[in-house]
Structure 1
Amino acid sequence: MSDTPVDQLTESAAREELDRLAAELARHDALYHREAAPEISDADYDALKRRALEIEELFPDLTSPASPSQVVGAPISSQFAPVRHGVPMLSLDNAFSAEEVTDFVARIRRFLRLPGDEPVAFVGEPKIDGLSASLRYERGMLVTGATRGDGRTGEDVTANLRTIADIPQSLPGKGWPDVIEVRGEVYAPNDAFDAFNAAAEAEGQRTYANPRNFAAGSLRQKDPTITAKRPLRFFAYAWGETSAAFADTQADALKALESWGFHVNARSRRVEDAAGLQALYAELERDRAGLGYDIDGVVYKVDRLDWQARLGFVARTPRWAIAHKFPAQQATTVLEDIDIQVGRTGSHTPVARLHPVTVGGVVVRNATLHNADEIARLDVRLGDTVTLQRAGDVIPQILGVVDADRPGRGPPWEFPHLCICPLKTALVKETNASGVESVVRRCTGELACPFQRIEHLKHFCSRRAFDIEGLGEKQIIAFHDRGWLSQPADIFRLARDAEKLDALRNEDGYGEVSVRNLVAGIDARRTIALDRFIYGLGVRDIGEQTSIVLARAFETWPAFEAACLAAAEGMPSEDWVRLNEAHAVSPRVVATLAEASPPADDPWPEAPIDQKIALAFPGLAAPARRGLATLADDWAGLVRLAAVARNEGPSEGLGQIAGVSGVGPVAARALALFFREPHNRAMVDALVAELARIEDAERPKSDTPVAGKTVVFTGALERFTRDEAKARAESLGAKVSGSVSKKTDYLVAGPGAGSKMADALKHGVTVLTEDEWLALIG
């Protein structure tokens, strides 16, 4: 993650970082929700998401359906049937301080326009650290059980949920609606979890890092008899679709759920105003360790359901609820070693190896150290006693050294200057647009580096790229270690290599069905969509959304390849790149510089640099002048900038890619650098030779009612997902934007539409319901 403040990012740098953050968050969502194997702490995840939301707020036009603000949960797995939720399962905003809770209450008062003496009642309840589930009952009988999934569509785990004793198969009592979706949390009590782990470890079976991961992994078993043996419980706390109202308040709704046979958390309570919320929070934080199950905060919900309806939603979160997170838990232990992990783009990340210590009920052995600068800042050395911080995480953060002044302390730890791979390639530190050196050190070996090669292969097979069934991380590493896989083309060669497939059957214990499924999974991807192909190449700075944009712009693989090869022949100078990436320096500013012919001698020797820029290049706004001043501090520097703008820019081929709306110079340069390397071109050629077809991107239509129109989707859409809506609109020739302006033609609003609805009314934009939109597009 960049250290550059969000308000100092250029639009191209913001787009680049938002794409990177979206991809990183999507990966962590999949690890958390689908694999039950998170790699980062909740706090680190929250920090990533907060930065992404700040970028979207400052650059609203960059918001897309794939943006972090529009995503809930994680995509569903292909091993379970999809279940469409009657009402979306949305996420909650987080609060981390008493001040944020006070602001939350004040916002509700302002929105509802309540008098100062009228109390606001809330229901506060422990935030269970488990897996969200939705249970659909029809005429009192359980018919479907599903995970949250992406918020709109979950995974059908009905058979597994039926094995949990806390979940009634039929509703007792009376007053329940004919149709009701009961929402709640599947969790594992701490004692039962510890007993399961101890027994599994004794038998050499898989153990789980914490009860949350255990609950997720247990519920997502293919075989429900395995789930039935797991000590899972269920707390009900909410509802989705109902055929009839059954309560007037949140508190009464919980009582109704309890009367219908559900377990409702006994620590849930009705309180009033911010003071009541803070008192409940302090109480639960104090009692947290003795509850017998993990919680990571307290959820506050407005009690009156009619007020909830009035408050509505903002983007993908309700205005009427918030999760107040507990602070991180801490412990001390000894730093035994520091290892380096190499990422797909060559980044070298240090990981602390710790003497095992229990933090909040989880045994911790590893902690992130982020980068060399963080190690230097903390001054951590082997043998130090360090303080750890954990917030529901597997890899926590080291806060500092306890015994920094002890006698005989070891020497400072030195970050390697060469890649840890056998090639010992030099590590480099890149610079950003402002000339500031990056904290990340990267290996320059690319695919020649075995560590990067494995990460590239994992990316290539990932769900958003080629999505090859049966070829996961474990198989990729094993096949690479045997010398079978070194580049993507080798995957497709493997499917036709009878000798290697026989070795799998005879030496590695693969069954005939497993081998057949692996070959089928590989062969199924010999035909691939152009956007997936582009994304699968793993080019740095080319995310999933950028790949889609590029595919639609160039339509065919030959056209895209030709553009990339032409771009590789016309790379701009480093000075030109720094100029274009400087703060507030737009293409128009660069064009102004290129058209100017400032004299060699300074006509205004006494003027400050900002004034010189204003006089030499009339019409530039103050932010652009300040951006240029960071690159040139005297007249000679300004003359040089004008020459750079005029003579050292990209070729027409590179400009063609950079000029695609939604791509920009950073992504274009990344493609040019990639295709400039002979070994990368050879890798691509070998891959193409193994494929049957790279499918052309669908050409957007121009003869539809919305062709050329700008459309914004908002609210909790019920007839389609945002991805579906965006894809359909763009196929009909419309442009989909993330923000409303006077140039917007249509706002398609689902339930809970918020500020975008207000903006549409202000600008006179046509507002459509989902049904009206579907009627318009036919």
Structure 2
Amino acid sequence: MSENQDVQKRIDTLTETVNDYAHHYYVLDQPKVPDAEYDRLLQELEELEAAHPELKRSDSPSERVGGEPLDHFRKVQHDIPMLSLSNAFNEEELRDFDRRVRDGLGVNPTYSVELKIDGLAITLKYEAGEFVLGATRGDGTTGEDITRNLKTIPSIPLKLKESVTLEVRGEAFMPKASFNRLNEAREEKGEALFANPRNAAAGSLRQLDPKIAAKRNLDMFVYSVGQIEGKTIDSHTETLDYVSKLGFKINPEAKHCNGIEEVVDYVNSWLDRRGDLDYEIDGIVIKVDSLDHQEELGFTAKSPRWATAFKFPAEEVVTKLIDIELSIGRTGVVTPTAILEPVSVAGTTVQRASLHNEDLIRQQDVKIGDRVTIKKAGDIIPKVVNVLTEQRDGSEEDFSMPEHCPACESELVRIDGEVALRCVNPECPAQIREGLIHFASRDAMNIDGLGERVITQLHSRELVRNVADLYRLEKEAIMALERMGEKSATNLVEAIEATKSNSLEKLLFGLGIRFVGSKAAKTLAMHFETMDALMEADKEALIAVDEIGDKMADSIVMAFEQPGMKHLIGALKDLGVNMTYTGPKRITAEESDSPLAGKTVVITGSMEQYSRKEAKTEVEARGGKVTGTVSKKTDLVIAGEKAGSKLDKANELGIEVWDEARFIDELS
């Protein structure tokens, strides 16, 4: 045997041994050897790899220390969207969820319940058992490739115990002990402290230098399988058992429940015990256990009908209201905000809380200097819920809303039927600034690098007066801003230029027309296809579109009648901003003569000429609907090479199957 073969054999042995020890320590919480022995073997492996880098394995435990820094994170399109869950805040809403499930299925389901980890949702992809990609949730359809950082998390296996191709999803988090150590170290260095473990975990995984993530001692629980080849799984409980056998860490508190009564008991059992855990949780996730039942219930536009998240009651605390600050939104609404003495609420330091509007201030008799009770609505947005009038000492001061806009001095008005005061001056600088921030935001034009700080500087220096001015910016002007070098300025100019080709719905949402959200913007863009056609549409044409009601239609017509809006769109056209919908066209089954029209289709296996995403687009373009699971409701399975369990199930159920050749033939 040659020297290299001897070294490779030793590297193989060390890699597998150290990985096994790490699995028992980090995943099973059952250490096999003392720390000193683990460290000794890892050091030997690292020395051999340094001397023979060509022999290093992709699943080497030395990957856990991180590699060279990255320049940026690559965008990743999720094959299956990572949807958020609906919420329940009390027992009645939990029972309403159960009733909807039973009505939808016609039977009493069983449930799987798990702790809702307060961390960062991520997805992991494995090919033939090898970890190949890890990404953030992002906006649900597009995330960021953070594979290098995720490799530093010891509980994420670099190689599975079976040679399986699959995608799993879970929650990366920072244990409380790691969080405390991190903040202690940052305090010693005079650095800003992280507010809570969730923010610390998210910040760690978005470091361009993987070595920083490696030092943060993160962890992860897997809670679902997105896709899998060659394996049939019937329930969520079985899913968790299977991924555990593959080497993933699952939450040990997960439980199978025979009905809503057991679910309610489980939820109640954790209301007072959440503080006993060594990681943060903010609720309980409840899922229908049967995957066939999940398929039957399906999804809404935003969330699955077969799952919900019970959110723990918000923590309430008392603090002092030291001032009331007014802000002007992009639609001119004047919003009062309470400025508070800093206080910790549900794991975060709070200094501001919503007062909503003038009527609420009057109803609660809020005065500056009051002691107030605040809580987080859904554990997210702090708000004032009560004034402790009995603790007043006479030093408190009354507050009244101004008659004029604090940003432009225009007279404020209250529109009939609305509670809010509003500035109706279209030249109001505060509205323009907020509109610019909205235009650059992720769901709108998604201009990378154009955040609130940069926009504030551009607007205050009068470099940008409206969104069209963004496309007139030159590098030299941007370089004059604070903390903007030549490279940053160049990147920003290129990022702005790149958004000129965005599909119409991005621009439409970015224009900030009242009541037109991102979903409605896409519906309108798909229907009318061009900005000109949309601008010419009257109210009758608008309300004829699915999901567009009277209120939204009136707002759209009114917006496009404004000379300022017409001028702005004309300027954007002249600057080369796309005014056409370029996404996949929505075709109904009635409009298509394709044999795919009206069919529920599952695509499985690999094809030579199409990726799964491309094949899905082709099916939908012909009036078909693509789902991820084979069930009795499936009409057709398109099977490529190595189709696996989905093909087996289709054959069992007698569902029609096409191979790639038949699929291509039907497309043509």
**What TM-score comes out, normalization by structure 1 length?**
0.62
The answer to whether 1:520 aligns with 2:520 is no
* Distance in 1 between residues matched to 2:127 and 2:180, nearest whole Å: 37
- Give the counterpart of 2:456 among 467, 470, 477: 477
The answer to whether 1:430 aligns with 2:429 is no
Q: Any residues of structure 2 matched to 1:364-375 within 5 Å, and which?
A: 364-375=350-361
Report if aligned partners of 1:329, 1:389 keep a CA contact under 8 Å in 2.
Answer: yes
Q: Any residues of structure 2 matched to 1:627-642 within 5 Å, and which?
A: none
- Give the counterpart of 2:392 among 381, 397, 406: 406
1:153-209 Cα offsets, whole Å, 9 max, x none, are: 54332211101111121235xxx4622333321111223224424544554545443
The answer to whether 1:148 aligns with 2:143 is no
Aligned to 2:197: 211
- Give the counterpart of 2:425 among 428, 442, 445: 445
The answer to whether 1:491 aligns with 2:470 is yes
1:142 to 1:684, Cα distance in 2 relative to 1, 3 A:
closer
The answer to whether 1:171 aligns with 2:160 is yes
The answer to whether 1:130 aligns with 2:115 is no
The answer to whether 1:750 aligns with 2:627 is yes
Aligned to 2:484: 510
Amino acid in structure 1 at the alignment position of 2:422? R
- 1:546 positional shift: 5.4
What percent of counterpart residues are identical?
36
Aligned to 1:538: 512
- The CA RMSD measured in Å over matched residues stands at 4.5
Aligned to 1:605: none
Amino acid in structure 1 at the alignment position of 2:310? H
- 1:454 positional shift: 0.6
- 1:284 positional shift: 1.6
1:688 to 1:271, Cα distance in 2 relative to 1, 3 A:
closer
1:250 to 1:698, Cα distance in 2 relative to 1, 3 A:
closer
* Distance in 1 between residues matched to 2:658 and 2:598, nearest whole Å: 12
Aligned to 2:89: 96
1:720 to 1:659, Cα distance in 2 relative to 1, 3 A:
farther
Amino acid in structure 2 at the alignment position of 1:171? L
1:128 to 1:546, Cα distance in 2 relative to 1, 3 A:
closer
1:419 to 1:775, Cα distance in 2 relative to 1, 3 A:
farther
Q: Any residues of structure 2 matched to 1:225-240 within 5 Å, and which?
A: 225-240=211-226
Count residues with an aligned counterpart.
566
SS at match of 1:510: coil
- Give the counterpart of 2:75 among 77, 81, 90: 81
* Distance in 2 between residues matched to 1:723 and 1:344, nearest whole Å: 40
Report if aligned partners of 1:347, 1:441 keep a CA contact under 8 Å in 2.
Answer: yes
- 1:425 positional shift: 0.9
1:688 to 1:749, Cα distance in 2 relative to 1, 3 A:
closer
Instruction: Give unmatched runs, 5+ long, in structure 1.
Output: 1-77, 432-436, 564-652, 733-745, 759-766
* Distance in 1 between residues matched to 2:551 and 2:618, nearest whole Å: 24
Report if aligned partners of 2:600, 2:624 keep a CA contact under 8 Å in 1.
Answer: yes
Report if aligned partners of 1:714, 1:753 keep a CA contact under 8 Å in 2.
Answer: no
1:481 to 1:777, Cα distance in 2 relative to 1, 3 A:
same
* Distance in 1 between residues matched to 2:166 and 2:238, nearest whole Å: 16
- 1:339 positional shift: 0.9
- 1:419 positional shift: 0.9
Aligned to 2:434: 455
Report if aligned partners of 1:186, 1:234 keep a CA contact under 8 Å in 2.
Answer: yes
SS at match of 2:396: coil
- Give the counterpart of 1:377 among 363, 369, 381: 363
* Distance in 2 between residues matched to 1:155 and 1:337, nearest whole Å: 40
Aligned to 2:576: 692
Report if aligned partners of 1:352, 1:368 keep a CA contact under 8 Å in 2.
Answer: yes
- 1:343 positional shift: 0.8
* Distance in 1 between residues matched to 2:234 and 2:591, nearest whole Å: 46
Amino acid in structure 1 at the alignment position of 2:280? D
Report if aligned partners of 1:354, 1:366 keep a CA contact under 8 Å in 2.
Answer: yes
1:477 to 1:727, Cα distance in 2 relative to 1, 3 A:
farther
1:394-418 Cα offsets, whole Å, 9 max, x none, are: 5312211123473426344212221
1:155 to 1:693, Cα distance in 2 relative to 1, 3 A:
closer
Report if aligned partners of 2:588, 2:598 keep a CA contact under 8 Å in 1.
Answer: no
**What TM-score comes out, normalization by structure 2 length?**
0.71
1:282 to 1:453, Cα distance in 2 relative to 1, 3 A:
same
- 1:128 positional shift: 0.8
Q: Any residues of structure 2 matched to 1:546-565 within 5 Å, and which?
A: 563=536
Report if aligned partners of 2:295, 2:631 keep a CA contact under 8 Å in 1.
Answer: no
Q: Which has the higher contact order (CA 8 A, sep 6+)?
A: 1
- 1:107 positional shift: 6.3
Amino acid in structure 1 at the alignment position of 2:421? R
* Distance in 1 between residues matched to 2:496 and 2:93, nearest whole Å: 50
* Distance in 2 between residues matched to 1:702 and 1:426, nearest whole Å: 45
- Give the counterpart of 1:243 among 229, 232, 251: 229
